[in-house]
């Protein structure tokens, strides 16, 4: 999408609209990227999520300087128990928060709130996500909590246009909006994430 405020691109249209609103509110390009990334955790959880990471190349036109900021996941440092696979320590929230602190203009809360609302009240599930669910959902999504979100009552993957609500994700985004990313790495949200990883057969600790 390109208009008076600049150009935006993302893997999912609803995220682009959120980015446009951020730019129209006076936000920087980084503000828009942060808001779109958080929104894609809701609309494209197969491609973006709290458990992931990323990298961003920022160009400062006035200083003619480009800076690369990486927040990729890294493997757990503690030795795993037998028969456990090593999980990655997520970098998404910490990295997006650092990006905003360095290059943002709007308040952090303004950037998180759109994604939080979409997760709580629901969005129309996009076609690309339905395709992913149809091909890989039955294999990739095994826990009951996730299946209750992405599958209907008959056990079939949600279809394009169905409403996708993610109440637990909304609650997490609400905490991140109010307290910043610290709770995800050192608080109750982090402990819940670690417990989920280990229940799925992975190895991750709060120290990681």
pLDDT, tens digit, 9 for 90 and up, residues 119-160: 999 999 999 998 988 887 776 677 778 888 888 888 888 888
Residue 141 to residue 143: CA distance in whole angstroms? 6
Report yes or no: 40 and 11 within 8 Å, Cβ to Cβ. Answer: yes
pLDDT beneath 50: ranges in the chain: none
User: Alpha carbon 174 to chain centroid distance?
Assistant: 13
Instruction: Give the pLDDT of residue 140.
Output: 66
Instruction: Give the pLDDT of residue 83.
Output: 67
Rg (C-alpha) for the chain, rounded Å, is: 18
| Residue whose entry in the numeric block shows the structure tokens 């759109």 | 114
Task: Extract the tokens encoding 185.
Answer: 């790495």
Task: Extract the tokens encoding 193.
Answer: 């994430």
Counting Cα atoms < 13 Å in the Cβ hemisphere of 150 gives 25
Q: Classify residue 184 by burial, with Cβ atoms within 10 Å: 0-12, 13-18, 19+.
A: buried
Instruction: Give the pLDDT of residue 2.
Output: 55
């Amino acid at each position: 999408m390109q208009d008076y405020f600049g150009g935006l691109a993302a893997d999912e249209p609803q995220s682009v609209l959120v980015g446009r609103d951020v730019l129209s509110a006076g936000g920087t390009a980084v503000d828009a990227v942060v808001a779109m990334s958080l929104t894609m955790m809701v609309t494209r959880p197969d491609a973006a999520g709290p458990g992931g990471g990323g990298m961003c190349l920022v160009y400062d036109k006035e200083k003619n300087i480009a800076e690369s900021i990486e927040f990729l996941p890294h493997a757990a440092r503690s030795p795993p128990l037998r028969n456990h696979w090593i999980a990655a320590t997520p970098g998404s929230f910490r990295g997006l928060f650092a990006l905003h602190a360095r290059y943002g203009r709007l308040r952090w809360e303004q950037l998180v709130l759109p994604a939080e609302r979409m997760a709580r009240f629901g969005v129309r599930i996009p076609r690309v996500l339905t395709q992913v669910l149809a091909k890989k959902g039955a294999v990739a999504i095994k826990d009951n909590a996730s299946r209750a979100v992405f599958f209907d009552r008959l056990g079939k993957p949600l279809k394009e246009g169905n409403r996708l609500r993610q109440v637990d994700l909304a609650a997490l985004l609400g905490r991140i909006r109010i307290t910043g990313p610290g709770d995800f790495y050192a608080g109750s949200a982090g402990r819940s994430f670690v417990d989920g990883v280990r229940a799925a057969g992975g190895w991750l600790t709060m120290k990681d």
